[in-house]
Amino acid sequence: MATRFNALTAILGAFLTIQIPTDAAGEIPSRCKASRQSMLKVFAKVGLGGTSDGRIGPLGASGRTQLVIHSAKDLAANAAPKKAKDPAFQKEVEAQLAKLLKVDAIDWDKQMVVAIWGGAARVHHQEIAFHSFTVKGNALTVTWNETGSWLPGCTRARGVALVERFNGPVLFNPSAQK
């Protein structure tokens, strides 16, 4: 009886073996960790009050309210599309954004930039506050809200963050006003 049980276990074991792919370092890729949730590392973040042009350093909203930048070329294309392919211009706008974020440089292989423009409001000194950068499954969720003093004036809240690079879809979730 024990021999039959061992033989049956061996046969079933062969059919029920699950192969989990690994990368070159032997780690399980993030796409296989569907139920895990993690936070991206934040290197720098800045909330800015409104200005008449609504820019964030070299970044312009161009009708958008959220923006994800993965390279110096993307950054330059947002700042001035006609100059996007010029390496000197790419370095110039990258240096402007690094200065705004108070970092020495941006490592595009390991980092990316997230920018948010809030709605136009009749307030003064309103800015974007970033709360979390959470990866769950294959998507990144950026949680944020607008904060500031409720004084007369017309402005558009803005914020920019330098975070760990993520190459999947990015969702923006404005949290409740605090």
pLDDT-above-70 percentage for the chain: 59
- Mean pLDDT calculated for residue range 141-170: 79
In a domain, 1, yes or no: no
27 inside domain: no
Would you say residue 135 lies in a domain? yes
Q: Has residue 10 been placed in a domain?
A: no
In a domain, 145, yes or no: yes
pLDDT tens sequence across 79-99: 888 888 999 999 999 998 899
Domain count for the chain? 1
- Provide the pLDDT for residue 12: 39
Across the strands, what pairs with 161?
45, 114
**pLDDT of residue 29 exceeding 80:** no
Determine, yes or no, domain membership for 5: no
Whole domain around residue 85: which residue ranges?
Answer: 34-174
Tokens 């974007």 — which residue?
Answer: 128
| Residue 3 domain-assigned (yes or no) | no
Q: Look at residue 12 and tell me if it is in a domain.
A: no
